[in-house]
A = this chain, B = another copy of it.
Amino acid sequence: MKAYLISIGDEILIGQTVNTNVAYIAAKLVEHNVFVSKTSVIGDNYDQIMNEFKTAYEECDLVVVTGGLGPTHDDITRKCVVDFFDTELVHDEGVLEDIKSLFTKKGRELTDLNKDQALIPKIATPVKNYFGTAPGIWIEKKKKYFAVFPGVPYEMKEMVNDFLVPKVSDLLSGKMGNKIITNVLTTGIPESVLYEKIGSIDELLNGSKMAFLPNQFGVKLRLTIEEDDEESAKNKLLEIEQKLRGKVGRYIYGKDEDTLESVIAKIMTERGLTLATAESCTGGLVSNFITNISGSSKFFERGVVTYSNAAKVEILSVNEDIIHKHGAVSLEVARQMAEGIKATSCADIGLSTTGIMGPTGATGEKKVGLVYVGLCDENICTAKKFTFGDDRLLNKDRTAQAALEMLRRHLLGISYDE
């Protein structure tokens, strides 16, 4: 089954909205062996929408459209669907009930605008919207499938999981393939160095495919394996993974949906260890990543964001003389911050960050991008220097990632230096 994803909305074309929907839907479809051959973004324009519906419907088996279902005047997707399938709008009592109960739950009054959202194309099945008022639309015609979901990501996601995924699974039941796509996640090593360390790609892959996908958090290695049957594909994957681990294992922190924080959470929870963080330059980003993990309260004791020197001295007992002598951005202060948060929180491990994120803050020999990460447990108290770039938000991301990676390697006894 081949899919074509269409996103409708001027807001994407003029760059006001990042189109996260496509990635979400594509990932879900791929998991269920539906491959997206193309995606496009077009404006809230009747002719352009009708043309794109036509192209997509001709080229693919499944068309998934997002956007333009809202209650206001600028949303025209539903009208286009009606015209494209040459049908009409009819009132759906079930949808109206859903909308009413949503309003009751939120304690708000129903408007006429919202009532109109209970009108759906006659040949369509409405798709329940748990978080909003616009129902999704599902149309099956001549073995072709046409889905329309709201552009609001959390509304769309719920419909994809609750409706589209089971639907697609049903349609494809018994047709599951022997293709595996999986990501091996690395961090702390540049793409070209990783490439060289891996050595002969052909020998490693023996017919399978691998792509290098770098971003600020590291390099993803996407493996695509296709064999005669599922068993062989799984064995082949295992073989490649083992070889990869033999060559660059220290940089591999996980697979697919793993994040450094989820990997760390698992290890710390299993071992019954607790963590506390003392952040300066990352401003809470490290603890934010950690607390994104459900259940993090089991091991994450507390965090402090000591942005001012006074806070570093008062909360973390960092030595004032050390700050004056070495500066707040220094190996010594990073170490003392980690030591201080470990001591005051009684957590097993203290993790700290201090650095210059830019664009301002550089002084003499200390340039924007200079970062120190500190780590203390009952045995050691250490810190490490990193040099990142000029972009503030990118530097925060990279510093947080470096701190989490330092913690991961510490937990696993992997030395940081080669």
Contacts and interface: CB of A to CB of B under 8 A. Distances in A.
A215 interface: yes
A125 to B, nearest CB: 24
A329 to B, nearest CB: 12
A69 to B, nearest CB: 12
Interface in A5-59: 9-20, 22-30, 35-44, 48
A152 B213 CA distance: 9
Interface stretch (A87-95, A238-246, A307-315): A307-315
A377 interface: no
B71 A195 contact: yes
A59 to B, nearest CB: 11
| Copies of this polypeptide in the complex | 2
B311 A307 contact: no
A394 interface: yes
Contacts of A290: 283
Contacts of A415: none
Nearest to A303: B305
Interface stretch (A77-85, A185-193, A226-234): A185-193
27 contacts: A10-B222, A11-B222, A12-B22, A12-B39, A13-B26, A13-B38, A13-B39, A14-B30, A15-B27, A15-B29, A16-B27, A17-B213, A18-B18, A70-B191, A72-B195, A72-B212, A74-B211, A108-B193, A153-B215, A153-B216, A154-B389, A154-B391, A282-B288, A282-B291, A283-B296, A296-B307, A297-B361
